[in-house]
Amino acid sequence: MYSTGTMLRQSAALAADIERLTGSVAASAGAALDAVPGAPLREVVLVGSGDSHHAGVATQLAFERLAGVPCTALSTQQFLDYGMLGPARQDTATLVVTVSASGSSPRLVTAAHRARDRGLPTLAVTGRQGSPLGDAATAEVVAALGLTERSPGIRTYQASLLALLLLAVRLAGARHALPGSGTRHALPGSSPAPGEDDLVAEVIATADAVRATVRAADAPCRDLAERLTETGRPWAPLVFTGTGPARGTAMYAAAKVVEAAGLPAYAQDTEEYWHIERFADPADAPLVVLAPPGPGHARAVELAAAASGHGRRVIAVAGQDDTELTRAAWHTVPLAGTAREEWSPLVGHVFAGLLGARLADRLGRAPFSGGAPR
């Protein structure tokens, strides 16, 4: 049975999962790439539904910045209907990565089969060995949690993030000839990069930031749930905004609020929000802004301040020392920092399960109940 207690327990287990899984998942990612035949890869397409799609959006930057390869995240049906259009999707230089924690999504299995029928190398990122999706792909990257409790995806989402980020690290080694990675497909003129082992060590180190964020964010999430429901009628819909990897985190956070508390919520690109949704009534509706350090941060700060100036209740999900963003905030949920923006989704998503659970508790609802009382 789904429960908010399970969501909170899973949130508390996130840091330990990173420490326990990173080594084995990194090895699995390397072995999977070694099994991919054909020419050096020139494009990566990440395919999934729900949380798996959100993880793809959140990790595109890692493939592009670390491995120097264009990366696109598509929903499963979008890939099936339109994803293989164009010349770039017609040769073996395009790697299709299908993502499903269960490994049993029928539409995604169909996508993997269809990609292989076109001659495209296909990897599966799953949570269990020998799943239907893994069998349909060229090779699989497994991040097995051994879960015994059902919950709106929290540990499973992080496991998918972890697998995709480590796949990007291993692909970076294959393309850039990183120190310690051997000499494979180096890119002319590429800037010096840390070795694969150094990048894997950075991923493991995010466990400390995740652990600190769980401790720092839970009480602010509980307080935020109270503020969002204090009139007896919860604010809805909640809008979560982000750009770059934070867009994937915003999509995931909106999903946890819907799944856990039954409240309408959606994600939007930060700039697109300013063009459209800022005109929506009521003028004081909450706006959740996710803006980790990176190229998108400065514009997010500008828009948060402008939204606050127009009466919006800005909720900043930000670093503990990010006074630029938090000075415009009606409420702040603090996050610990990471070594680089590519890893920020591992920390950024932590608040989502906490907020979803606290909102459900506040409203007396159970996850996946459609808003019905317990």
- The tens digit of pLDDT for each residue in 278-313 reads 999 999 999 999 999 999 999 999 999 999 999 999
> How far apart, in whole angstroms, are the C-alpha atoms of residue 171 and residue 90?
21
Q: What is the pLDDT of residue 85?
A: 78
For 17-57, write each residue's pLDDT tens digit. 999 999 999 999 999 999 987 667 889 999 999 999 999 99
Contact 99, 55 (CB under 8 A): yes
Domains and CATH numbers, the chain: 4-193 (3.40.50.10490), 209-363 (3.40.50.10490)
> How far apart, in whole angstroms, are the C-alpha atoms of residue 56 and residue 103?
15
For 168-177, write each residue's pLDDT tens digit. 999 998 876 4
- pLDDT exceeding 90 applies to what percent of the chain? 81
| Whether residue 179 has pLDDT greater than 60 | no
Tokens of 334: 């603090």
Q: What is the pLDDT of residue 290?
A: 98
Helix axes 245-261, 350-363, angle to 10 degrees: 20
Comparing CA positions, the residue from 120, 168, 117 lying closest to residue 141 is 168
Instruction: Rounding to the nearest 10 degrees, give the CA dihedral for residues 314, 319, 323, 328.
Output: 0
Contacts of 232 (CB under 8 A, 6+ apart): none
| Whether residue 262 has pLDDT greater than 60 | yes
> How far apart, in whole angstroms, are the C-alpha atoms of residue 40 and residue 27?
20
Provide the whole-model pTM.
Answer: 0.93
- Got the DSSP string for 272-311? HHHHTGGGSSPTT-EEEEE--SSTTHHHHHHHHHHHHHTT
Q: Using DSSP, state whether 192 is helix, strand or coil.
A: coil
For 310-349, write each residue's pLDDT tens digit. 999 999 999 989 999 999 999 999 999 999 999 999 999 9
